[in-house]
Amino acid sequence: MEITEKENNYILTPLSPKLNERESLRIAAEIENIKNGCSVSDIGLNMCCVQDCTIEFIKNILSFDTISLFNIHSDIFALLISMDLDKKLNLYVSESDFIQKKHQLINRKFTLV
């Protein structure tokens, strides 16, 4: 796992192609260490290397309130949208969008009446 700090934002990059229970516990431990160590405005997960994730990862991520995901693989993005997690998590397209807090991905589900 790679950890970087940019403009008072911490970015965690998991290097495993599949985020299972073991990997999600490692990510949760790192997030707790970052939160306890200093005052940080936001923590982001760069999902560029991740191809698949398990339900344990999603449950762990939902337990944190200041977490954002970006560079999300299309399969994972479809899963998050179908579970309506775009309302609970901050989803961004790129790292620059995450740092600037612009262009958040939200599925609005418009219908014609």
- CB of 80 closer than 8 Å to CB of 106: no
Summarize the confidence of residues 31-53 as an average pLDDT: 87
pTM, entire model: 0.86
Q: What's the chain's Rg over C-alpha atoms?
A: 14
Q: Tell me the pLDDT band of 45, cut-offs 50, 70 and 90.
A: very high
pLDDT of residue 58 exceeding 80 = yes
Output the pLDDT for position 109.
74
Q: Tell me the pLDDT band of 47, cut-offs 50, 70 and 90.
A: very high
Segment (H or E) for 62? helix 55-62
